[in-house]
């Protein structure tokens, strides 16, 4: 995935905004709008491990457009992204 490569090469300046939550083959994903220094795009972030903050991000929760601060992402060799946690949600 090209967006995963761009995020990894520009990790210090990337901003993540919550868009919505989807399921694919029964697995939940967060869809994030991602903005780097010279790119933007959507990232589907797998949710193998949910925590208190990720559970707050629901389609009807009022968090659409909120920034995810201190987001930790694990990228696989195939470019797949998995949620590893975050510091906070900024409205």
The pTM for the full model equals 0.91
pLDDT value for 29: 97
Angle at 69 between CA 67 and CA 75, to 5 degrees: 100
pLDDT (tens digit, 0 to 9) for every residue of the chain, 91 residues total? 588 888 888 767 899 999 999 999 999 999 999 999 889 999 999 999 999 999 999 998 999 999 999 999 999 988 799 999 999 999 8
């Amino acid at each position: 995935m090209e967006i995963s490569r761009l995020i990894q090469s520009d990790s210090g300046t990337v901003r993540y905004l919550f868009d919505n939550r989807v399921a694919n083959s029964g697995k939940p994903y967060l869809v994030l709008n991602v903005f780097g220094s010279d790119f933007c795009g959507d990232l589907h972030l797998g949710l193998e491990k949910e925590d208190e903050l990720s559970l707050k991000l629901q389609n009807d929760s009022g968090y659409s457009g909120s920034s995810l601060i201190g987001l930790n992402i694990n990228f696989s060799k195939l470019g797949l992204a998995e949620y590893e946690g975050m510091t906070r949600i900024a409205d």
